[in-house]
Chains A and B, each alone.
Chain A
């Protein structure tokens, strides 16, 4: 191993200076729960690494109807503070205590499926990501952040600094289905937000993980729900549609065939959970 530098910036500004200077030569690390295993195995052999733990991005606060989460806030912090019920549920269902004490909210956007359950909840909540570089910042919705497997819109010199989550106006539900009840990769994870106008669905977002190259929305299933009551029939049609439109994969956890079956089951359960809360 030939790591020559481990930078530990003490502020966001300092981190951006390092990043501007070293650009793509610098491997950016949050809690290290994804980066360090690859380094330990020799799969990744970076020369320069920047750790963000001390960069002051460790906070949760509310601002203008949004929950603002600093990128290096740990999942344990989210679990304790639970700024929104779905975020508490997503944190509780991600990894185990030791890992939640290290893994960060921002880091969850840079992990390959079937990991990335927390980002899936943030996709369903229509969160926006604050991407910063020296002297500039921009906001990108989570739904536009991913461009492919382990690929995203982040430019060289740019850093994910904050996650802005609009406070949900409707009902939310999150279910992760794994092979064990805790500390397990997902067979499938489903998170949804449904907003009602009277008894009719006015807006719906269904996010799924472990059924594509990154957390994805079930857009066709969402459209089916619009303008109708969240009836058992509508839920069944939406769940079948989600199972058709997703692109599951086979790995050690589950087969493509099984994941597709489970998408139908768990989209249905999440929507029924929401219908139960509303009715």
Chain B
């Protein structure tokens, strides 16, 4: 079968893409659309670095055929980053030194966004559970947990706790 046209909403904009059968969202984003925030780590669903939101739910884009998001709303890190400055979660990660090499950061921020959208006041256990699928080999995770707590405070309109 020839390539197929798939229509979906990417970061607030309707787009049509032409893909071969079973092309993954990760491949589409990185190789066709040049959206490089979504990383290509293990390609097994095991590292979390390719996480995107589909209708607000975090999913591993390396395991997700483009055809499956037809008609859905897809959000990548590019989509939550304002034209000027940073999203409060990004600011909190920056201020809390929650990244070193940065490869895992886009996936972790997307999961954090999904968590904070559902639960504006997550406790430590809830943050750890939400991020259990995201591997970081640099930070030891503690700065990431602090950053998510700080992001929650910023998004709830309180003073940042960095």
Contacts and interface: CB of A to CB of B under 8 A. Distances in A.
A and B held together in a complex: yes
Interface of A: 3-6, 8, 31-33, 36-37, 39-41, 49, 51, 53, 76, 95-99, 101-102, 181-183
Contacts of B129: 97, 182
Interface stretch (B44-52, B90-98, B143-151): B44-52
Interface in B57-73: 57-60, 62-65, 67-68
Given A3-B20, A3-B22, A95 B133 contact: yes
- Give the dominant DSSP class at B's interface: mixed
Nearest to B134: A96
Interface in B1-58: 1, 20-22, 24, 43-45, 48, 51, 57-58
Interface residues of B, number: 28
Contacts, number: 86
Contact of B132 (A4, A6, A51, A183): A183
Contact of B24 (A8, A36, A99, A101): A36
B111 interface: yes
A102 B50 CA distance: 14
Contacts of A98: 45, 48, 51, 58-60, 111, 133
Contact of A6 (B22, B130, B134): B22
B24 to A, nearest CB: 7
A40 B59 contact: no
B52 to A, nearest CB: 9
A5 B1 contact: yes
Interface string B103-114: 000000001001
8 contacts: A4-B21, A6-B1, A6-B67, A40-B43, A53-B68, A98-B58, A101-B57, A101-B58
Contacts of A76: 57
A32 B44 CA distance: 10
A101 B110 CA distance: 14
Contacts of B57: 76, 101
A39 B22 contact: yes
A37 B59 contact: no
Nearest 7 Cβ contacts at the A-B interface: A96-B133, A182-B132, A6-B21, A36-B63, A37-B44, A40-B43, A183-B132
Of residues B62, B64, B128, B130, which shows the largest number of chain A Cβ atoms within 10 Å of its Cβ? B64
Contacts of A183: 132-133
Given A98-B58, A102-B59, A51 B24 contact: no
B1 A4 contact: yes
Contacts of A31: 63
Nearest to B68: A53
A53 to B, nearest CB: 6
A31 B45 CA distance: 12
Nearest to A47: B21
Contacts of A102: 45, 59-60, 63-64
